[in-house]
Amino acid sequence: MALEKLNVVSIGCGGMGWADVTATASHPEVNIAGCVDVDANRLKNATDHFKCEGYADWREMYAEMGDKIDAVIVSTPDHTHAPAAMEGLNRDKHVYCQKPLTWCPWEARQLSIQAELKPHLSTQMGTQLASTVSKRQGIELMRNGVMGAVEEIHGWSDRPSWVQGQPRVKGSDPIPDHLDWDLWLGVAPVRPYKNGRYHPGQWRGVFDFGCGAIGDMACHIMDAPYYAFDLFAPMAFRTDCDDATEDQMPTKQIVKMTFPGNIYSSRDSIPFTWYDGGLKPSPKAMGLPDDFRLPSNACIVIGDEGTFLAGHGSGNRLFIKGKEVPLNNPKIEDRNHWHHWVDGCFGRVETMTNFGFAARLTESMVLGAVGARFPGETLVWDTKNVRVTNKMEANAFVRRKYRKGFEVENL
């Protein structure tokens, strides 16, 4: 029986969650049937706005509304992306999930497997700029070899804009009445609540909850070359940093990965380098004019004929022998990322950042967070078995055991 309205529940209703649910709700064939948030203030704002059911616990929502909904949006902190999204797939729901798709590589691989087993479901990662004309033009230009065969890929971000590189904060504060701290922790190990240190917005740099700037921004910035050149997983990776702690990601880092070469590359391997915390490559080394001012967030593909720069929302540029040349941009229609997912739920389109692609990209990017726990060490990655082969203790961060009561089938 054909759907008349897509009944959607939003899991996470503050910050980007609010942007996701309101953008999705603007599609004329969507009904927001429910909202979930561990913060009662955010939940009330959402349920009052949409006149819908409200829950603090996504597990309770699935149990009570599972047969009444068609799709879910997951916009929680990174560590709860995979369990909430996987439960959606387990219950045969379409799923839109924020980036990075998962907290660790194992979760990414498992989500991709389950999504592949259910091709009738529409899945999408929340990298909204992937739907823009500029991003899609850049992908087509790169795939067509506008810069020649690929030799190197570089990407960077000016983030983090939150606390990182600090020891675990001591002590505890009273848990606010409006916050269910146990549900916020979810699958992660228990720790005391500290006011202003985790919820809201300060969790990204904490290993137990986030993946730092590479988790926050690399899925946005590196998706274009990753998509264009059909990349999957690196053969090896290394994170160079000097102030990571047992609790938090470093304030800045350089992550180096080596991908297998393919039909798009000039060599048998493709070096990939990520920089964050204000670090950037040298313009001259990138084949750019010496005085070129690099954007705050961007990626560069160095080919054997030139250099292609894809800005984060700031357009594409091509340089040959250090001089900029005009681009012949293909004609591409604009697209609404959220509406495209909804149209996918109705079977009209295939989404671009579906979990098949999103999981591959995420698996690679969150390896940078794994590497930050072992700075300066080159870790060898076994793609087939989803594990590090030369540093066994690293595998504790490739996959972790969920806290009792928060286990999810297929994870």
Q: Does residue 38 sit in the same domain as residue 162?
A: no
pLDDT tens string 22-80: 999 999 999 999 999 999 999 999 999 999 999 999 999 999 999 999 999 999 999 99
156 within domain boundaries: yes
Q: Is 402 in the same domain as 316?
A: yes
Let me know whether 342 and 328 are in one domain. Answer: no
Task: Please indicate, yes or no, whether residues 300 and 199 belong to a single structural domain of this protein.
Answer: yes
Please tell me what DSSP assigns to residue 291. Answer: T
In the predicted structure, residue 209 carries a pLDDT above the cut 80:
yes
Average pLDDT over residues 353-382: 98
Q: Are residues 315 and 350 in the same domain?
A: no
Residues, the chain, total?
411
Matching residue, tokens 């379409």: 94
- Please state the φ and ψ torsions of residue 196, each to the nearest 5 degrees: 80, 0
Q: Is the pTM of this model over 0.95?
A: yes
Query: Residues 197-208: what's their mean pLDDT?
Result: 95
Residue 324 maps to a domain: yes
- Report the percent of the chain where pLDDT is more than 90: 98
Residues 39 and 182 in one domain: no
Are 72 and 158 part of one and the same domain? no
Q: Which domain holds residue 104?
A: 6-129+335-354
In CATH, what number is assigned to the domain containing residue 83? 3.40.50.720
54 and 29 share one domain: yes
pLDDT tens digits, 276-288? 999 999 999 999 9
Based on the fold, state whether residues 15 and 73 are members of the same structural domain.
Answer: yes
Cβ-in-10-Å burial (0-12, 13-18, 19+) of 249 comes to buried
Q: Is residue 86 part of a domain?
A: yes
Flag whether 315 is in a domain. yes
Closest CA relative to residue 292, chosen from 325, 253, 319:
319
The mean pLDDT of 375-400, rounded to a whole number, is 98
Task: Provide the CB-side half-sphere exposure for 344 (13 A, CA).
Answer: 26
Asked if residue 37 belongs to a domain, the reply is yes
| The pLDDT value given to residue 201 | 87
Q: Assign residue 149 the CATH number of its domain.
A: 3.30.360.10
Are residues 119 and 154 located together in one domain of the fold? no
| Per-residue model confidence (pLDDT) at position 1 | 46
Give tens-digit pLDDT for 238-269: 999 999 999 999 999 999 999 999 999 999 99
Give the pLDDT score at 313.
85
User: What would the mean pLDDT of 82-97 be, rounded to a whole number?
Assistant: 98
Q: Is residue 1 part of a domain?
A: no
C-beta pairs of 134-137 under 8 Å, 24+ apart in sequence: 134/311, 134/313, 134/315, 134/316, 135/223, 135/224, 135/310, 136/332, 136/335, 136/352, 137/316, 137/329, 137/330, 137/332
295-348 pLDDT tens trace: 999 999 999 999 999 999 889 999 999 999 999 999 999 999 999 999 999 999
Do residue 279 and residue 208 come from a single domain? yes
Same domain membership, residue 271 and residue 348: no
Domain boundary among the residues 307, 324, 354 is at 354
**Number of independent structural domains in the chain:** 2
Q: Is the pLDDT of residue 2 over 90?
A: no
